[in-house]
Amino acid sequence: MSFRKKLWIGLILLALASPVGIILPDKFNAGDAWGEWNADKLKEMLGFVPRNLAKLSGLWHAPMPDYGFAENASPAIQYIGYITSGILGIVLAGSAIYFISKLLFKKEK
């Protein structure tokens, strides 16, 4: 098998293993990353939500928030959503780079 093929397989294996990234924090009772709390969590922590933060925080509604299909989904659905996001990440990142390179190198051909 070629070296590159091995690397692509490694990436797919990483995507399949990605639910470890939600299982471990769950097991060790670890929460959000520092400074990435949502408005509800901030309200709980501070007793208030900074005014402009509240306004800006709802600016964008991502199609797959938090790398999943739905909030409060069952663990199985969460893992499937996470793996799907990982595969989607490979496809999106890979093709974005492909198109950027096409644009960059077009003129020389």
Partner 1 sequence: MHIPDGYLSPQTFLPMYGVSATIWGIGLKKIKKQLPLKHIPYLSMAAAFSFLVMMFNVPIPGGTTGHAVGGGIIAILLGPWTAVVAVSTVLVIQALVFGDGGITALGTNCFNMAIVLPFVSYWTFKLLNGRATSGKRVYVSSFIAGWFGLTVASAFAGTELGLQPLIAKAADGAPLYAPYPLSVALPAMVGEHALVFAPVEGLITALLLGYFLKNEPETVFAINGGPK
Q: Where does this chain bind partner 1 (CB under 8 A)?
A: 3-4, 7-8, 11, 14-15, 18, 20-22, 24-25, 27-36, 38-39, 42, 46, 48, 50-67, 82, 85-86, 88-90, 92-98, 100-101, 104-105
Contacts of residue 32, Cβ cutoff 8 Å, sequence gap at least 6: 38, 41
Using CA atoms, how far apart are residues 29 and 38, in angstroms rounded to an integer? 18
Reported residue count of the chain is 109
- In angstroms, what is the minimal distance from the CB of 74 to partner 1? 19
- In angstroms, what is the minimal distance from the CB of 69 to partner 1? 12
